[in-house]
Copies of this chain bind each other. A is one copy, B any other.
Amino acid sequence: MITYPLGFEAAGIAAGLKPSGREDLALLVAPPGATAAGLFTTNRVQAAPVRLARERLGRTGGVARAVLVNSGQANAGTGERGLADAVATTDALAALLGCAPDEVLPCSTGVIGEPLPVEAIRRALPALVAARSPEGSAAFARAILTTDTVDKQAAAEADGYRVGGAAKGVGMVAPHLATMLAFVTTDAPVSAADLSVLADEALRPAFEAITVDGCTSTNDSVLLLASGAADGEPVVPGTPAWVALAGACRRVADELARRLIADAEGAEHVLIVDVEGAASERDAGRLARAVADSPLVKTAAFGRDPNPGRILQALGAAGVELDPTSIDVWIADVRVVEAGVIPPAYFGDDGLRASASAAMAGSEIPVRVRVGGGPGTARVLGCDLTYGYVRINGEYTT
């Protein structure tokens, strides 16, 4: 619901980029003076739209009028031609909107290596611009999808300001690289500099806490735009309004992240891994990620097998200093590791393994890990590894 905040318009149309003929070109328009901040993939191989959006945000100092998203081609692994194509399509949009080219940010998702269909996009732009409206949220959310089975939208309100978001991931029609894109809007007035802080503080932790397969995309992008259309004084860090706005942004980001992971390729269970008692937040994050990314833990989750031995294995190999005798693990409320030892009752007939397995029947599996008495905590959302993941990524050889 990216047009839920005041000042934004959106659209999504079919431009013939996807073989399926579905919507594949999306537009978000912000009012003049809107600020923007971006979080981008840390992959060393970065898609052309990622490089261009990052450059443009740098040149404008965090101002944007529009975001142009295409699904079907990732425009990654396309070299200098890919960069020229991203410039050509966004410049054409800028001319139609009457804004500076640097105020248009590109995002792409789809097959890696395929060139962007520049002419098809250029031909479709007038219709896309004409279709924009404050009711365009749903069309935008559909047009950014690839093999997603449902669109992902979220909204929240705080202190009179509205926050909206849309996201896509994970997977493609042809089995190329999964890509995560997320867009969050607000009508709160926030300066460009503060908006970067807000993105870092309220959005980064939510999206960095999800993992489908441990593979960082070449195209991952999170864009935050503030229209200021709610009027009032600029919202600045350290004020109650900031805290409320950051909270609303975090709720939208958390909701989008949860919707992404629930629709992850082939996933039948969401793994909610909480780690506490680590020496630092960074250590806790590594431990939680090691559990959520372990193929052995993920296949066990698919089979509703608590398998505490695999969780111990993943924790021990996480590259974090660890006292094995201080590890406790719970599946839901069943303690399956006590002070580093799998209790003998786990293998007995008194139902410890059976009750843990029963707790894995739902769509969400909570795994809680305590590794000592330190202050570090972290939560990572993952999913199980299923026949569906292998089918989606292995069977459709393109």
Contact = CB atoms under 8 A, between A and B. Distances in A.
Interface of A: 42-46, 74, 76-79, 81, 111-115, 175-178, 213-218, 294-296, 299-300, 302-305, 307-310, 312-318, 320-322, 324-325, 327, 337, 339-342, 344, 346-347, 357, 384-387, 389-391, 393-398
Given A112-B309, A342-B77, A302 B390 contact: yes
A347 B78 CA distance: 12
Given A77-B341, A177-B309, A215 B296 contact: yes
Given A43-B313, A112-B312, A305 B175 contact: yes
Contact of A45 (B81, B112, B175, B316): B316
A157 B282 CA distance: 49
B176 A317 contact: no
A393 B309 contact: no
A304 B398 CA distance: 9
A342 to B, nearest CB: 3
B314 A215 contact: yes
25 contacts: A44-B315, A44-B316, A45-B312, A45-B322, A45-B340, A76-B309, A77-B342, A78-B341, A79-B325, A81-B341, A111-B309, A112-B309, A112-B310, A175-B300, A176-B310, A177-B309, A177-B313, A214-B295, A215-B296, A218-B312, A295-B385, A303-B394, A303-B396, A303-B397, A305-B394
Contacts of A394: 299-300, 302-303, 305, 384-386
Contact of A324 (B45, B74, B305): B45
A132 to B, nearest CB: 32
The 7 A-B residue pairs whose C-beta atoms are closest, nearest first, are A112-B309, A113-B342, A45-B316, A299-B393, A299-B394, A305-B397, A79-B341
Contacts of A213: 295-296
Copies in the complex: 2
A215 B295 CA distance: 8
A113 B308 contact: yes
A390 B387 contact: yes
B177 A296 contact: yes
Given A385-B394, A390-B386, A216 B313 contact: yes
A114 B300 contact: no
A169 to B, nearest CB: 13
Nearest to A391: B387
A5 to B, nearest CB: 33
Query: Among the interface residues A113, A177, A347, A357, which one has the most CB atoms of the partner chain B within 10 A?
Result: A113
Given A112-B309, A307-B175, A397-B357, A340 B387 contact: no
Q: Which of A111, A307, A308 has the most CB of B within 10 A?
A: A307
B74 A296 contact: no
Given A175-B305, A307-B175, A312-B112, A43 B317 contact: yes
Given A112-B342, A295-B213, A340-B79, A44 B175 contact: no
A316 B43 contact: yes
